[in-house]
Chain A
Amino acid sequence: MSYDNELYQQVILDHNRKPRNFHEMENSTNSCHGINPLCGDDITIYLKLDEAEGVIQDISFTGSGCAISKASTSLMTQYLKGKKVDESRLIFEEFHKMVLGDFDPEKQEHHLGKLTLFMGIREYPSRTKCASLAWHTMVGALDKKLEGVSTE
């Protein structure tokens, strides 16, 4: 196979095939609907927050999209489960800047863990929104954006 390995890595293919935390959530405290109107990616993020502790107790998603958006959402849910809300917002900032090419986790201190595997997407400007939709939607859920979020 001759595809750019940085973009379509095995982990991404695996999460595309078998997305984790891929279900609706009963008793969610927060949720948000996110769309990318340019390509039709469409996801909903569900959160169960422990308000007192400021912790994401549980997180899940539903929806449809390309391999990049599906894998990005799946990996995000894995990574953020149990994390503090403040920390999650910081990780969003770092992730967003990384896919835009404005933050280099190879040179700067970061909190992205294995999410750095999405670094290659900065070479594909038309695909960055595929990777960041999940994150915008997660922040929309934290902020209780009832109208949903859009990448445009």
Chain B
Amino acid sequence: MSDTTAISIDNPILDVDKIRADFPLLSKEMGGKPLIYLDNGATTHKPTQVIERVRKFDSDEYGTVRRGSYRLCEHSTQLYEEARQKVADFLGAPTRQEIVFTSGTTQSINLVAHSFGRKFVNSGDEVIISNIEHHANTVPWQVLCDEKGATLKVIPVADNGELVMEEYDKLLTNKTRIVAVNHVSNALGTINPVNEITRKAHAVGAKVLIDGAQSTPHMKVDVQDINCDFYTFSGHKMYAPSGIGGMFGKMEVMETMPPYVTGGDMIMQVTLEKTTYAKPPARFEAGTPPISQVIGLGAAIDYLNAIGMDKIFEYEKSLLDYGTRLLNDIDGLRIIGNAEEKAAILSIYLEAAHPHDIITMLDQDGIALRGGHHCAQPTMIRFGVPATARASMAFYNKFSEIDALAEGLRKIIKFFS
């Protein structure tokens, strides 16, 4: 018996069969074949604990938040704020007031670009991103820099998918206002050295935003340890409902920022002449929030905590190592992104077949993967490929599913040659 099988059979870290029983969708079939879901980087499925919590809230407890003084509303508000506390604890934030709910990472980054950016980034200033960012952490900064006459600088990426930190050192100047990079690259899986990136940015007086869309579902995050100013996340990538996400923002920084979206609930006082704004986080939560989704997010965090983020990371790492070994044995297959520190993402390029053909063919075997540029076209351009097929794993994936992926890819190569 080889080492790899030993990992798959004797792995004591997680009882995956028991976990899978929590996810109704994972037992579905696709065209008569068991669904093998490997597109967790795009979105994740929800455990019964989340689905049922939202259902119970909607059927028995639902009320608006922060607006009324009747009991239904008070109860809703309490649950809503408890969920905020859960997020704060999950991210290691000092206080729950430093957690802002948004629709997700995209809106969180736009919030910072519009609010912080409009106020503090001016003509001649500089913003730094990296070459392996999602479009959500690229376009808002491009637009800001265009509007302000600021310069967008880009940390280059090495052939193995790691950021070239010596080049980052050279990009930082006293004109740098903000550095925005992801914790984990959605296209390559690279785990970036966010502590070092933050420390160096602070040394020149710049603020730091970390895009945590791909890290929060898969590893322990501690925003105080990173010491970043903003940390963004998306609920639907961490087993919570879609339409909810948020960010951590240091209170001392958020207090200096103007509102981004205006309206109800973000005000202190409104007269027809003048409005004064509420303190964060309310300042950034105009309008009635997605209340049920927030409750669902809290339930998802409870679920993740019950398993344990360290265990989740360790198990997914063993899936990644197993998959990497298996796929590296396939002739004509290239894994794009081989960083030393990597999350469970395999970006696959076949000489024989285009990613879209790969996806259609794997789909016929019940295997769901994402094919395309992963909203990271600058990354694809850097690596000289039009697109890749991406397998992004979660703690509910089995080793046998990785076997099926490898077998499916071999079959495709054979079919096309």
A residues within 8 Å of B by Cβ? 1-4, 7-8, 13, 16-17, 38-42, 64-68, 70, 124, 127, 130
Contact = CB atoms under 8 A, between A and B. Distances in A.
A40 B357 contact: no
B356 interface: yes
* 7 nearest A-B pairs in the assembled complex, by CB-CB distance: A66-B354, A66-B356, A40-B386, A67-B357, A40-B387, A66-B357, A39-B356
A9 to B, nearest CB: 12
A8 B415 CA distance: 10
A66 to B, nearest CB: 4
A127 B364 contact: no
A66 B17 CA distance: 37
B364 A64 contact: no
Contacts of B357: 8, 66-68
- Pick the most buried of B371, B380, B386: most chain A CB atoms within 10 A of its CB: B386
A53 B24 CA distance: 64
B411 interface: yes
Contacts of A130: 356
24 contacts: A2-B365, A4-B364, A7-B360, A8-B415, A13-B415, A17-B416, A38-B372, A39-B355, A39-B356, A39-B372, A39-B373, A39-B387, A40-B372, A40-B380, A40-B387, A65-B354, A65-B386, A66-B354, A66-B356, A66-B357, A67-B353, A67-B416, A68-B356, A70-B354
A64 B387 CA distance: 11
A122 to B, nearest CB: 14
B165 interface: no
A3 B415 contact: yes
- Pick the most buried of A16, A40, A42: most chain B CB atoms within 10 A of its CB: A40
Interface SS of B by simple majority: helix
A127 B56 CA distance: 40
Contacts of B377: 40
Interface string B399-417: 0000000000001001110
Interface residues of B, number: 20
A39 B387 CA distance: 7
A130 B357 CA distance: 10
- Pick the most buried of A1, A4, A39, A130: most chain B CB atoms within 10 A of its CB: A39
B415 A127 contact: no
Contacts of B416: 13, 16-17, 67
B387 A2 contact: no
B136 to A, nearest CB: 16
B361 interface: yes
Contacts of B386: 40-42, 64-65
- Pick the most buried of A3, A13, A127: most chain B CB atoms within 10 A of its CB: A3
A3 B356 contact: no
Contacts of A3: 361, 364, 415
B410 to A, nearest CB: 12
Given A16-B416, A38-B372, A40-B373, 14 more contacts: A3-B364, A8-B357, A13-B415, A17-B416, A39-B355, A40-B387, A42-B386, A64-B386, A66-B357, A67-B353, A67-B357, A68-B356, A68-B357, A124-B360
B364 A2 contact: yes
A152 to B, nearest CB: 13
A30 B355 CA distance: 31
B411 A127 contact: no
Contact of A127 (B353, B360, B380, B414): B360
B415 A1 contact: yes
B356 A1 contact: no
Contacts of A66: 354-357
A60 B306 CA distance: 60
B187 to A, nearest CB: 13
Interface in B317-355: 353-355
A1 B354 contact: no
A127 B372 CA distance: 13
Given A1-B411, A8-B415, A39 B371 contact: yes
Nearest to B359: A126
A37 B377 CA distance: 10
A66 B354 CA distance: 5
